[in-house]
Homo-oligomer: A and B are copies of this chain.
Amino acid sequence: MTIGIGLLGLGTVGAGVAEILANPEGRHPLVAELALRRVAVRNLERPRAAPVAAELLTTQAEAVVDDPAVDIVVEVLGGLEPARSLILRAIAAGKPVVTANKAVIARHGEEIAAAAAAAGVYVLLEAAVGGGIPIIEPLKQSLGANRIERVSGIINGTTNYILSRMAAEGADYGAVLADAQRLGYAEADPAADVEGADAADKIAILTGLAYGGSVPRQAIPTEGIDRLDARDVAYADKLGYVVKLLAVAQRIDSEPDGDKASGDPDALLLDVRVHPTLLPRSHPLAGVNGVFNAILVEGDPVGQVMFYGPGAGAGPTASAVVADILNIAGIRQATLPAGPGGGPVGLDPLLAAGSWRRCRLIDGALTTHRNYVRLRTSDEAGVIGRIGTCFGEAGVSIQSIVQFEAHNEAAEIVVITHEVLEERFRQALDAIAALPEVQGVAACLRTL
C-alpha cells in the first residue's frame, strides 16, 4: 500500500525528508511505502541537490495539498503564512498533516487542533521541538500515566551554543554571537533565538502536551540572553553553576492567595517562562553543551526522565518529520477496513493529543524561585551587612553573598537567595537599590 506524500517546502528540512524517502533501505520497511507525489517550492529554477524529480516540483502550494495522489501533507515552510492556511486547507480536505513549524503551532495551535478534531485527522509535530529528539511522541504516548510536575528544557541550540562558548572561553556575548553567525549556528537576524521567542514557542507547545491545555503564547514571560554579561557567566561558574537559557513549564499545586481573583479557579495553574537560569553543575541539564538540546520531564510517579539530542539540522529534523509520517501510515494500516465501504472511524486520543483541561498562567509576582543578583557597590566596610539586612527585613533568606572584585573604590557583590516570593524579592531589591552604597543592580537571574 503506497502512501502519497505532498511536501510543502524543499529547504534544509524538506531536502532531508526527500533524502530519507528516496533511500528507504535499512530503515523501517514502512518507509518504502511512502512515495513523494508533489513538492511546493518558491523557485522552480533553483538548482537543488535533493533527490526530487523535476516534474514533482510546483510553485502552487495549494496544488500540492489538493492533489488526490497526496495522502499526507508535510509542511516544512516555516513562518505563519501561508503555512497556517495550507495546514487548514489540508485538514479541511481530510488529509493528515505533519509539520515542523513551531511558530505556527505555538500561535495558531488551538485553531489548528480544533479543525483537526472536527475533521478527524491527525496533525503531528515531532520536529517542532527538539529537532531529532523524540519528545512530542513520548509526552503524548509514553508519559500519559503521570501527573507532570515540571518540563524544563534547553530547546534553542543557537543560544546554547553561544552560552557554552561564553562559559568555556570567558568570551563576551557579542563576540560569540558574531562568530556563531559566521559559522552558521546563528542566523543573520538572530532576534528570535537570542531574545527567547523561539524557546517560548516551543515551551508553549510542550505545555499543551504535558498538561493537556494551552496557555496564551504571548503571555509567557520571556527573557533572552542578549543582555547577558560575561561576568555573570564567570561568577556563576565560580559559585558552582552554569548559565543556560531554560524554558520551564511547572504546575503550581498550592495556589497563592493573591491569585484567587484572576478567574477560572478550576483551571490548572502553571508557571511557564523562558529566561537565562543558573543551574547547579550537578543538574542533569547542566552538562548539555553546544547545539545540543535536552528536555527534562518530572512527573509522578516516573520521577525525572531526560531526552537529549541534536536540536536542529536537516538530518535530525527530517528524522522527526518522517517519524510522524510513519506514525500516520502505521495507524492507517491498523484502521484499514477488511472489506470495502469501511474506513478509519476514530482518532487515537493519545496521538491526536487534544486538550482535556483548562490551564492558566500564574501572576509572575506570585511565583517563588531562587535568584542570583549582582550589585555594583562602593567598596566600604559594612556594605554586605546592609545588603543582608535589607534582604532579611523583606523576609528573603540568603544562601550566599560574595564580594567579587574591588578596585577604584567599586565592588561587585553577588547574592544567591533561597526560594522566595518574587513580590518580596522585588521589594528587597528596591530597598537595596536605595542604599547610598549601592550604585546599581547590574544583573538579576533566576537560579534552580
Q: Name A's B-contacting residues (CB within 8 A).
A: 16, 19-20, 26-31, 126, 132-134, 137-138, 141-147, 212, 284, 287, 299-310, 313-316, 318-323, 326-327, 330-331, 333-338, 342, 344-351, 356
Inter-subunit contact B138/A142 (CB<8 Å):
yes
Residues of B contacting A29 with CB < 8 Å?
Answer: 212, 349, 356
- The list of the 10 closest CB pairs from A to B, nearest first, reads A301-B315, A134-B142, A145-B322, A305-B309, A28-B144, A302-B319, A330-B350, A334-B348, A134-B138, A306-B308
Out of B322, B333, B337, which one reaches A144, CB within 8 Å?
B322
Say what secondary structure dominates the interface of chain A. mixed
Inter-subunit contact A319/B301 (CB<8 Å):
yes
Inter-subunit contact A333/B308 (CB<8 Å):
no
Residues of B contacting A342 with CB < 8 Å?
Answer: 337, 342, 345
Inter-subunit contact B134/A323 (CB<8 Å):
no
Inter-subunit contact B300/A304 (CB<8 Å):
no
State how many angstroms separate the Cβ of A411 from the closest Cβ of chain B. 36
Other A-B pairs, 15, CB within 8 Å; known A305-B308, A327-B350, A331-B348: A16-B301, A20-B145, A28-B212, A29-B212, A29-B349, A134-B141, A137-B141, A141-B326, A145-B319, A301-B315, A301-B316, A334-B345, A334-B351, A336-B346, A338-B345
Inter-subunit contact B147/A326 (CB<8 Å):
no
Residues of B contacting A349 with CB < 8 Å?
Answer: 29-30, 330, 333
Interface centre among A20, A27, A304, A334 (most CB of B within 10 A): A334
Out of B144, B287, B301, B334, which one reaches A344, CB within 8 Å?
B334
Residues of B contacting A344 with CB < 8 Å?
Answer: 334
Complex: A306 Cα to B310 Cα, angstroms: 10
Residues of B contacting A319 with CB < 8 Å?
Answer: 143, 145-146, 299, 301-302
Inter-subunit contact A27/B331 (CB<8 Å):
no
State how many angstroms separate the Cβ of A403 from the closest Cβ of chain B. 33
Residues of B contacting A338 with CB < 8 Å?
Answer: 345
Inter-subunit contact B303/A315 (CB<8 Å):
yes
